[in-house]
Structure 1
Amino acid sequence: MDEAEQVQDGNGVTILDLFNAVRKHVITAVVTLVIVMVAICAYTFTRTPQYTATSELLATYRSSAAASGASSNAVELSSGANYINSQIQTYPQLIKTESVLQPVIDDLGLDTTVKELAASVTASNPDGTMLVDISVNDPDPKQASSIANSVAENLRKQVTSTIYSDEGDKIISPVNLTVVQQAYAPASPSSPNVKLNMAIGLVSGIVLGVMVALIKDLLDTRVRRDSDVTTVIDAPVLGSLSRNEAYVGTSPVIISRPASREAEEIRRLRTNVMFVLPDEPLSNVIVVTSAGPSEGKTTLSVNLATAFAENGSKVLLIDADVRNPSVSKALGIEGAVGLTHLITNRVSSHDAIQRYWKPNFHVLPAGKQTMNPSILLNSRAMKALVEQVSGAYDYVIIDTAPMQVANDAAVFAKEGPELLLVAGLGVTEKKLLRQTGRELSTLSIDPVGLAMNYGETEKPQKGGYYYYGDESDDNGRKRQIQHKKSEKMKKD
């Protein structure tokens, strides 16, 4: 199944998909609309205005009986009507011939050729009538009417006399053309039609904008919004972490910047996680993973664990990503001894588990990789350790390998712990996310929630709400929190 077929699991594009695509790529859609409108405007307003003048002739049948003064019978009239109908069909081509147009050029003194004039002259026969409409387009409205009238007159002459003469002997034409409507100089141009062109441009721009947005969305291989993730993973979004340098370093933001917006993001995530955890055995064990690497799962794990510890809970943070240990680096602690040594009984829990920041915050680094990680993490010793720490701590946070690398997180979650899936906006590959979703669905594992990383930082609102000022520096200067008082308080 290719990328296009995987969209919506092969169910095609829905109206909701179009709406989401336009919402995500609204700038692209608007730019496309503007480009189309500019192009239509440029085409419309650079065209030379053309004026259309129309003259009209009526074709009647002149029978031989009528010519001699006798009355015509019904058969002859019917035959004459059929004859006129067949003749009228030739007039649109007849008016473009030299025999009709050259006299027009000569009479009006036009500086043009028969071929050029023919391009601006048209004739038509309205359905069910004996009428012939002759229309002429020209930049000059007066000249358009003059040409239309002259063409009508010369067509009349050709049909009623000239084409039926034989070496000077005039034969009465069975078709009689009479000018019933003179052409007059039009007051307004017939083209370009500004209103019509603008309407066409607007509709075309909107349709093309939606199509470009949809194509751009289909070709985008990374998730950009929460909805990109929730359409694949059926779980609530419990929190979002913004893209900020505050998360970079060897100290969680709650410790380094306790009054920052980023610290509040972590606290909000902690609170939401507490609310959604079920009251079941091992539900206080939270397994953190992501679909692919570099999505910020370790950063989220250490910050979430710190938030639980700040709240007074007894917390254990375990680095189970033994293939690529990151927790010790993120916290700036020694990680040479840890989980791998504890499970293999080479050290005791007293030697492997470290205290960090507060007495109620403990960390178990990954340690050095000594055997196959899958065998190690699927061992009975590991399961026993999870059950033991679940009873000894209020919350246990386990940072595991990305699902692309290994399904360790799924193995843990299958035994009872809750799974928290991290997605990095602009980083997570849609293909990997879909693969992760299918694997979790196959194993009947429902994530307790989703956490988004690398979101765009929103500007603080000042309309009566608290907002954050400058960050505190490394020397511990307090961060300033400003509050804009309401108008009522000002009056008081």
Structure 2
Amino acid sequence: MNEPEEGQQDGLTVMDLLMAVRKHLITAIVTLVIVVAAVAGYTFTRTPQYTATSELLATYRTSASSNNSGAGTELNSGASYLTSQIQTYPQLVKTESVLQPVIDDLGLNTTVTDLATTVTASNPTDTMLVDISVQNDNPKDASNIANAVAKSLKEQVTSTLYSDEGDKIVSPVNLTIVQQAYAPASPSSPNINLYLAVGVLSGIILGIVAALIKDLMDTRVRQDSDVTAIVDAPVLGGLTRNDAYDDKATVIIAHPASREAEEVRRLRTNVAFVLPDEKFSNVIVVTSAGPAEGKTTTSVNLATAFAENGSKVLLIDADVRNPSVSKKLDIEGTVGLTHLITNRVSSQDAIQRYWKPNFHVLPAGKQNLNPSILLNSRAMKALIVQVAGAYDYVIIDTAPMQVANDAAVFAKDGPELLLVAGVGVTEKKQLKQTEQELETLNIKAAGVAMNYVEAEKPQKSGYYYYGDDADGKGKKGQHGEDKKSKILKNDDNKA
């Protein structure tokens, strides 16, 4: 992978997150829907709870016999005493001494422990107030219990806690109920708006996280941005996943008015546009990071597109380890490149004419020598020089880079490199390794051709598309003519 430029920050960026969400938008949306549905289900199935609150004021009793100076001292010490005592009341409210009388007075069918879970007491900061809140599914019961708890707490603090074997001592603390609890008109829980807002926010966050995790765990190329994030080259076009590419003829020949044929023509135009005006730039080396990515399909269709445009084209199958051009075009492939560069046959015997007089094909031939030595030989280099001057375009189909670096051997001497990446097939790790190897050899790909791209549904128009039917067979054109072209083979198609 390319080294980050100076000032470029490493790590995850907002753009990375956006790209991950865009790539896995369905995952993010499904996660959002599930989270929101779960939160909504929880919210709307909860029993509404009502909260009623009563309030007490704590004051300190001063003795009537205190003089003025003594009263001031007593008030100061009383304030300190109140401050320390009032902090214990929130916990005192939950005790048996306070709650059992409430259960008895109201005839509640509950225990002290259960009732304590519904009662909450607090002391507002810098005040001598005690707030007692009770939560219940019945608003009237909530207010009754809150008032009863306030009354019980008052009795415990002002009298019971200070009795001594039946002799009551006046408590220095006096609690006064300053606010009765009333039955609330609306439930305090669940807060539907808050819960749903939290659910949506959580769903968005979890959706982004799910998309990011899926993106990080996905080891294969899924779209153009996956490739351009690794390879320093533009995506020049893409061939859709369609049975039309499996025919024993290229789509321009078999289905010239099809959407697939237009894809190939678009790729041809973009490739021609990026080629520099330099020596050997008309020689295009086609390769991929790994096998089964569609490089041969791209090679034969691209060569056909150049030939259709009137250019003189030579298609060379240099993947001598696993030749497939002859099979793809349904031509004889036993004699070809390996025989030509070892001077066992002439170019007229090795090169075949295909479809049009300006379209020639050089199959791989049978392998009988070390492929690396053969393709890096002086004879091979001389052949490239010769055909580069004799043809407008030379398309060389080579082995995947993970199999052999034949493509780099060709490209380092001047020909342009076209990298093919298969959607759902190309491994990102292999693509990175390929890019690193090309950088080491100071080779920059002219562009990338995507393969197995998911096709968008075509809009209705005045002509028919080809290769879209279920069995993959071509359809007839607008005027009903058969578009399947006859291909010259064997003895009839010698160059």
- Give the alignment's TM-score, normalised by structure 2: 0.92
Question: Does the Cα contact within 8 Å between 1:289 and 1:400 map onto a contact in 2?
Answer: yes
Of 217, 220, 234 in structure 2, the residue corresponding to residue 219 of structure 1 is 217
Counterpart residue number, 2:43: 44
Matched positions, count? 471
Aligned residue runs from structure 1 range 19-38, under 5 A: 19-38=18-37
Distance 2:28 2:359 in 1: 50
C-alpha deviations, 1:267-326, integer Å up to 9, x for none? 111111111111000000000000110000001100110111111111000000000000
AA matched with 1:261: R
Distance 2:187 2:76 in 1: 41
Distance 2:147 2:473 in 1: 94
Q: 1:409 to 1:471 in 2, by over 3 A?
A: closer
- The structural deviation recorded for 1:17 is 1.2
Counterpart residue number, 2:450: 452
Q: 1:245 to 1:37 in 2, by over 3 A?
A: same
Question: Does the Cα contact within 8 Å between 2:467 and 2:474 map onto a contact in 1?
Answer: no
- The structural deviation recorded for 1:467 is 5.6
Distance 2:475 2:445 in 1: 40
Distance 2:422 2:446 in 1: 17
1:468 aligns with 2:450: no
1:383 aligns with 2:381: yes
Question: Does the Cα contact within 8 Å between 2:163 and 2:169 map onto a contact in 1?
Answer: yes
Aligned residue runs from structure 1 range 34-183, under 5 A: 34-64=33-63, 67-68=64-65, 70-71=67-68, 73-183=71-181
Counterpart residue number, 2:407: 409
Question: Does the Cα contact within 8 Å between 2:94 and 2:116 map onto a contact in 1?
Answer: yes
Aligned residue runs from structure 1 range 70-469, under 5 A: 70-71=67-68, 73-462=71-460, 468-469=464-465
AA matched with 2:13: T
- The structural deviation recorded for 1:461 is 2.8
- List runs of 5+ in structure 1 lacking aligned partners: 2-8, 483-492
- Higher relative CO (CA 8 A, sep ≥ 6), structure 1 or 2? 2
Question: Does the Cα contact within 8 Å between 1:315 and 1:396 map onto a contact in 2?
Answer: yes
Tell me the SS of whatever aligns to 2:115: helix
Distance 1:274 1:333 in 2: 27
Q: 1:472 to 1:134 in 2, by over 3 A?
A: closer
Question: Does the Cα contact within 8 Å between 2:236 and 2:448 map onto a contact in 1?
Answer: yes
- The structural deviation recorded for 1:12 is 2.0
Distance 1:254 1:219 in 2: 38
Tell me the SS of whatever aligns to 1:468: coil
Tell me the SS of whatever aligns to 1:187: coil
- The structural deviation recorded for 1:471 is 5.4
Instruction: Indicate the percent of aligned positions where both proteins have the same amino acid.
Output: 75
Distance 2:351 2:427 in 1: 35
Question: Does the Cα contact within 8 Å between 1:257 and 1:472 map onto a contact in 2?
Answer: no
Question: Does the Cα contact within 8 Å between 1:56 and 1:152 map onto a contact in 2?
Answer: yes
- List runs of 5+ in structure 2 lacking aligned partners: 2-7, 481-495
C-alpha deviations, 1:176-222, integer Å up to 9, x for none? 11111110101111111111110110111000010011101111111
Question: Does the Cα contact within 8 Å between 1:461 and 1:467 map onto a contact in 2?
Answer: no
AA matched with 1:468: Y
Tell me the SS of whatever aligns to 1:119: helix
AA matched with 2:39: I
- The structural deviation recorded for 1:429 is 0.5
Distance 1:194 1:135 in 2: 21
AA matched with 1:340: T
AA matched with 1:397: I
- The structural deviation recorded for 1:69 is 6.4
Tell me the SS of whatever aligns to 1:480: coil
Q: 1:322 to 1:129 in 2, by over 3 A?
A: same
C-alpha deviations, 1:216-253, integer Å up to 9, x for none? 11111111011100111111111110100000021011
Tell me the SS of whatever aligns to 2:127: coil
Q: 1:113 to 1:411 in 2, by over 3 A?
A: same
Q: 1:471 to 1:300 in 2, by over 3 A?
A: closer
Worse-superposed segment, 363-372 or 75-84:
75-84
Worse-superposed segment, 436-445 or 274-283:
436-445
AA matched with 1:109: G
- The structural deviation recorded for 1:110 is 1.0
Question: Does the Cα contact within 8 Å between 2:243 and 2:467 map onto a contact in 1?
Answer: no
Tell me the SS of whatever aligns to 2:126: coil
Q: CA RMSD in A?
A: 2.0
- The structural deviation recorded for 1:466 is 5.7
- The structural deviation recorded for 1:75 is 3.0
Question: Does the Cα contact within 8 Å between 1:470 and 1:480 map onto a contact in 2?
Answer: no
Counterpart residue number, 1:6: none
Tell me the SS of whatever aligns to 2:164: coil
Distance 1:68 1:49 in 2: 54
Question: Does the Cα contact within 8 Å between 1:467 and 1:481 map onto a contact in 2?
Answer: no
Q: 1:51 to 1:324 in 2, by over 3 A?
A: same
Question: Does the Cα contact within 8 Å between 1:296 and 1:424 map onto a contact in 2?
Answer: yes
Question: Does the Cα contact within 8 Å between 2:258 and 2:466 map onto a contact in 1?
Answer: no
Q: 1:105 to 1:475 in 2, by over 3 A?
A: closer
Distance 2:418 2:138 in 1: 75
Distance 1:443 1:391 in 2: 25
- Give the alignment's TM-score, normalised by structure 1: 0.92
Question: Does the Cα contact within 8 Å between 1:261 and 1:468 map onto a contact in 2?
Answer: no
Question: Does the Cα contact within 8 Å between 1:222 and 1:430 map onto a contact in 2?
Answer: yes
Tell me the SS of whatever aligns to 2:121: strand
Worse-superposed segment, 148-157 or 471-480:
471-480
Worse-superposed segment, 310-319 or 470-479:
470-479
- The structural deviation recorded for 1:476 is 8.8
C-alpha deviations, 1:39-60, integer Å up to 9, x for none? 1111111111110000001111
Question: Does the Cα contact within 8 Å between 1:242 and 1:457 map onto a contact in 2?
Answer: yes
Worse-superposed segment, 37-46 or 473-482:
473-482
Q: 1:453 to 1:59 in 2, by over 3 A?
A: same
- The structural deviation recorded for 1:444 is 1.6
- The structural deviation recorded for 1:73 is 3.6
AA matched with 2:158: T
